[in-house]
Structure 1
Amino acid sequence: MNGPEIQISFAPGLRLFVSTERRSGRTTVATDGVSTLGHVVESLGVPLTEVGRLLVDGSPVEVSHVPAVGDTVEVEAAERPQPVPGAPLRFLLDVHLGTLARRLRLLGVDAAYESEDIGDPALAALSAKERRVMLSRDRGLLRRRELWAGAYVYSDQPDDQLRDVLERFAPPLKPWTRCTACNGPLTDADKDSVRERLEQGTEKTYDVFARCTECERVYWRGAHHARLEAIVTDALREFGGAAAH
């Protein structure tokens, strides 16, 4: 780009996306005179999924704004909690976020997950078809125009990933209501109806069961329950929701 020069700065939370020399404050960018501000921001490394308001000389503009010579641009981060208008809040996670998907499901959040790498075009198309927020650490995927909505997952640690998503989108929490394996809804099940699916030790030890209405997986409060309970308790304490089993 060698057209009109603008001055641009990024909110602290966005600076990890841009080159080192652009992280300390306002820097100069030469534009081509025809590209939109949204294109300019993405060309500098920031997915538009992460961008909140764009200010030119202090006034909000749309991503379609074409920068003019001398514009002073401020790029703000997406607001938190971030509203997602027009559809029930649902998520789609890529192949690298399986643990996060299971934890969201544990909390009753609708989280579809692709356990195989089906490719960015297919993921973006699925996001659009089912109107799901695409969660990913793949910046290229988040730049795809087909996406219905998307969000970058900032950490590679599951605890931090979960906190990030819950803080950013504030989804309603209904723990113990979704299958962590397939995302289907759970329903209470009496022991007789699931007896044939239980090992002898489980049948003798436990009396309270739930079953997935889609994949028919059976759940009970087994050896891992304390660890899962801790995840649920921490999430409810910090972000609220219903604690019913």
Structure 2
Amino acid sequence: MNGPEIHIEFAPGLRVFVPHGRRAGATPVTTDGVSTLGHVVESLGVPLTEVGELVVNGGAVAVSHVPAADETVEVRAVERPQPVPGAPLRFLLDVHLGTLARRLRLLGVDAAYESLDIGDPALAARSAAERRVMLSRDRGLLRRRELWAGAFIYSTRPEEQLRDVLGRFAPRLAPWSRCTACNGMLRPATKEEVAGQLASGARRSYDVFAQCGECGRAYWRGAHHAQLEGIVGRALAEFDRA
């Protein structure tokens, strides 16, 4: 770029995206004089999905604003909880976020998940077609213009990933209502209806079952139920706003 110089400062939470040397304080950036502020921000490594208000010389501007010489730009992070207008809150997760998808489903959150790497164009197209918020650690995917909405997942740890999504979007929680395997809705089932999926020990030990209306998978309070209850209990204690 060889044009007007501006001074740009990123919110602390966004500095993880910015190359070393631009992480603290306002830094001079040379623009080309025609690119939008949104393009400039993305060129510095920050996905627009993570950007809240853009403030130029003290006043809010749109991403389409074309910076002029000597402007001071403040790039703020998205507000939390982040509103997602115009559709029921639903998510789409890429191939690397399977554990997060299962934990969201455990809490009753609508979380579609691609278990195969179908490619960024197909993921972005599904996000748009189904009006789902794309969750990913792939900044290139989150920069695709056809996305309906998106969010970067900052941590590699499932516990922190879950807290981040729940804190950012405040979805309604309805634990034990979705299939963790396929995202379908669960319904009560009798032992006879799910008998074909039960080992002899489960048939003897359990009497309360649920079954997915989509894939037919059976659920009961098995050996891992205490661990799952812990995940649910912690989420409800911190994020249940009902």
Query: What's the TM-score bracket when you normalise by the shorter of the two chains?
Result: over 0.9
Q: Distance in 2 between matches of 1:48 and 1:192?
A: 52
Indicate if the aligned counterparts of 1:187 and 1:213 stay in contact, CA closer than 8 A.
yes
1:9 match = 9
- By how many angstroms is 1:196 displaced? 2.5
Q: Is residue 222 of structure 2 the alignment partner of residue 222 of structure 1?
A: yes
Q: Distance in 2 between matches of 1:119 and 1:51?
A: 24
Amino acid at match of 1:97: L
Q: Distance in 1 between matches of 2:197 and 2:32?
A: 65
CA deviation digits over 1:46-97, x for unaligned, max 9? Answer: 0000000000001000000000111100000011000000000000000000
Q: Distance in 2 between matches of 1:195 and 1:136?
A: 38
Matches within 5 A, 1:178-193: 178-193=178-193
Q: Is residue 131 of structure 2 the alignment partner of residue 156 of structure 1?
A: no
CA deviation digits over 1:2-38, x for unaligned, max 9? Answer: 1011010000000000011110110001111110000
Matches within 5 A, 1:36-185: 36-185=36-185
- By how many angstroms is 1:209 displaced? 0.2
Q: With structure 2 as the length reference, what TM-score do the two structures score?
A: 0.99
CA deviation digits over 1:141-174, x for unaligned, max 9? Answer: 0000010000000000000000000000000000
Indicate if the aligned counterparts of 1:131 and 1:148 stay in contact, CA closer than 8 A.
yes
- By how many angstroms is 1:197 displaced? 2.3
Q: Distance in 2 between matches of 1:44 and 1:176?
A: 42
Amino acid at match of 1:102: R
- Name the SS of the counterpart of 1:20 in structure 2: coil
Structure 1, unmatched stretches of 5+, are none
- By how many angstroms is 1:241 displaced? 5.5
- Name the SS of the counterpart of 1:21 in structure 2: coil
Amino acid at match of 2:74: E
Q: Distance in 2 between matches of 1:45 and 1:241?
A: 34
Amino acid at match of 2:225: H
Q: With structure 1 as the length reference, what TM-score do the two structures score?
A: 0.98
Equivalenced residues, count: 242
Q: Distance in 2 between matches of 1:55 and 1:180?
A: 42
Runs of 4 or more above 6 Å deviation = none
- Name the SS of the counterpart of 2:21 in structure 1: helix
Matches within 5 A, 1:224-239: 224-239=224-239
Q: Distance in 2 between matches of 1:213 and 1:177?
A: 11
RMSD after superposition: 0.7
Q: Distance in 2 between matches of 1:32 and 1:205?
A: 70
Q: Distance in 2 between matches of 1:128 and 1:17?
A: 25
Q: Distance in 1 between matches of 2:68 and 2:19?
A: 23
Amino acid at match of 1:231: I
